[in-house]
Amino acid sequence: MEEELTKQKPLNLPPIAEGGWPIGSAKKFAQDRLGFFEEYVPKYGDLFELTSVFFKLIRHFKKVVIVTGPDMVKHIMQDNNKNYVKSYGYSVLKVLLGEGLLTSEGEFWRKQRRLLQPAFHRDRLASFVSAYAEFGQQLVDKWSKEPAGTVVDVSQGFMEATLNIVSKAMFSTDVGDAMDVVNREFDYANEKLIARITSPFPMPFWMPLPGVKREKESYEAIKNVVAQVIEKRRNSTEKYDDLLAMLMEVEDADTGEKMSNQQIQDEVLTIFLAGHETTAVALTWLVHCLDENPEVVEKLLEEEKAVLNGRTPTIDDLRSLEYTRMVIDETLRLFPPAWIIGRHATGPDKLGEYDIPADTNCLIPVYYIHRNPKYWEEPLKFKPERFSKENSKGRHKFVYFPFGGGPRLCIGNNFALMEMQVVVPMLVRAIKLTKPAGFKFKREPLITMRPTPHMQMEVQHR
Ligand code: HEM
């Protein structure tokens, strides 16, 4: 009888994606991360395990499953989110972002999120529209001055504009001379961080090797830019009403303590990085999509003429720039900058019919779900009309989720959407950007999915 009671039902584990010994299906994943999903998801379905005998040896990889079923994704990110923490990759990002909002967990994260949330309230966002327009116009002016046919680095241009925007809106300063450091070091850091995340044996930071030294220097250089912004503020006698002032003044309700310098730095750096690179990459993909779809540009111009007619956009215009918003949504569908989201199960769970043991890593390829032919008609076509109110009705929340979902939803989603809605019409009405003949690039899935090399485009004036 006792034996009966203790007998457990065998687990119903997800199917295992085959691959040769010893590297298994993880080999294809390591070689071609985007191609992997295109090949394996149609074969294995909504949930399957990625294998490699190496995984068994490596604590942080152990069991890795790929989840693409929208109900399963909803279960992980929303309904049963308490059973999940962010996956191993985010802990690697801590070398740069420390315990900032993107990487922290539990009660500490909840407290910080509550604290930062008011800075992203709709009323505050309305006051940022002038910053979006100021730096949007600065970029348009810079490119407009170039003689027709000049090739410009579009990736870089958007990166600079979005960094200045987030800096001005949240910390009342532009980046100034530090822009060169950020431009140089951020590309480098992005590559090194993803190499650490995907490597089974990342090089420890104490190793006295030139590569490791260079990597540490890169992280330090980025942290220094932020430290200087904070230092400048500490030495200023002016009164500010921005996120930085809030972080510096807030006192813990229980202890009355102020936030430590380190914590302020982590939060500020997180907002700096999460708040500009993603949006810059989205704008870069957007102009690529426009170059491929001239009929969409015509419609954008019609809307610009009807709503703005050359004026600088205001908060009240955004509601009327409906088609512009649909173009942004469709770009984020085909090219979601946050192309993959990872979660680690802290306890056992069930996804659909399958058992998920504790310590399973769940990888959610947003990029693939946004293109899965099961949910999207002609998934590879750029069709902004998919996002009209009519056509969006009834769409599953986790078939389209470029900003994530559940409690860890991107805090800057409306910030980014409004920023793009201001910048896009200002850009499109002034210049046309086209890729030079023979220019080749690939989609590179690093921390964000971006074109490599930087997107180059020829400027034509309108
Ligand atoms: C197109 C632009 C953007 C995209 C695609 C994007 C995407 C995302 C996604 C998918 C997450 C959730 C990650 C996860 O669940 O593991 C996230 C979180 C976050 N994003 Fe964004 N983001 C964008 C713009 C911004 C902006 C403009 C800011 C700030 C100004 C920002 C700040 C953050 C922060 C702080 C978090 C962590 C939130 C938390 O866990 O409480 N993001 N973002």
Which residue, judged by its Cα, is nearest atom 29 of ligand 1? 275
CA distance 325 to 388: 9
The pLDDT score that the predictor gives to residue 61 is: 64
CA distance 291 to 431: 12
Q: Is the CB of 162 under 6 A from ligand 1?
A: no
The pLDDT profile of the chain, 462 residues, written as one tens digit per residue, is 455 555 677 889 999 887 766 666 677 777 888 998 999 999 999 999 987 666 666 656 678 899 999 999 999 999 999 999 998 888 889 999 999 999 999 999 999 999 899 888 888 899 899 999 999 999 999 999 999 999 999 999 999 999 999 999 888 887 777 888 887 888 888 888 888 887 777 888 888 888 889 999 999 999 998 898 899 899 999 999 888 998 998 887 778 888 888 999 999 999 988 999 999 999 999 999 999 999 999 999 999 999 999 999 999 999 999 999 999 999 999 999 999 999 999 999 999 999 999 999 999 999 999 999 999 999 999 999 999 999 999 999 999 999 999 999 999 999 999 999 999 999 999 999 999 999 999 998 888 899 999 999 999 999
Q: Is the CB of 89 under 6 A from ligand 1?
A: no
**Which domains does the chain show, CATH number per domain?**
10-276+340-413 (1.10.630.10)
Q: Ligand 1 centre from 276 Cα, in Å?
A: 10
Q: Ligand 1 centre from 122 Cα, in Å?
A: 16
Q: Is the CB of 84 under 6 A from ligand 1?
A: no
Instruction: Report in angstroms the alpha-carbon separations of 356 from 7, 15, 63, 73, 84.
Output: 19, 12, 10, 13, 12
List helix spans (H) across 98-242: 106-116, 122-144, 154-171, 179-198, 210-234
Token output for 43: 């074969």
Residues 6 or more apart in contact with residue 431 via CB below 8 angstroms: 140, 143, 144, 459, 460, 461, 462
Place of tokens 């069709």: 383
Which residue, judged by its Cα, is nearest atom 6 of ligand 1? 403
Return phi, psi of residue 451, to 5°. -75, 140
Return phi, psi of residue 438, to 5°. 85, -5
CA distance 425 to 152: 19
Cα dihedral angle (277, 278, 280, 281), rounded to 10 degrees?
110
Nearest ligand 1 atom, CA 276: 27
Q: Is the peptide bond before 22 cis (omega within 30 degrees of 0)?
A: yes
Which residue, judged by its Cα, is nearest atom 7 of ligand 1? 403
CA distance 275 to 131: 14
Q: Which of 398, 410, 413 to mutate to test the pocket of ligand 1 (most atoms within 8 A of CB)?
A: 410
What's the predicted TM-score (pTM) here? 0.94
Q: Are strands 431-434 and 349-351 parallel, antiparallel or unpaired?
A: unpaired
Token output for 64: 């890795």
Token output for 449: 């999915």
Nearest ligand 1 atom, CA 271: 29
What residue type is 69 in one-letter code?
Answer: G
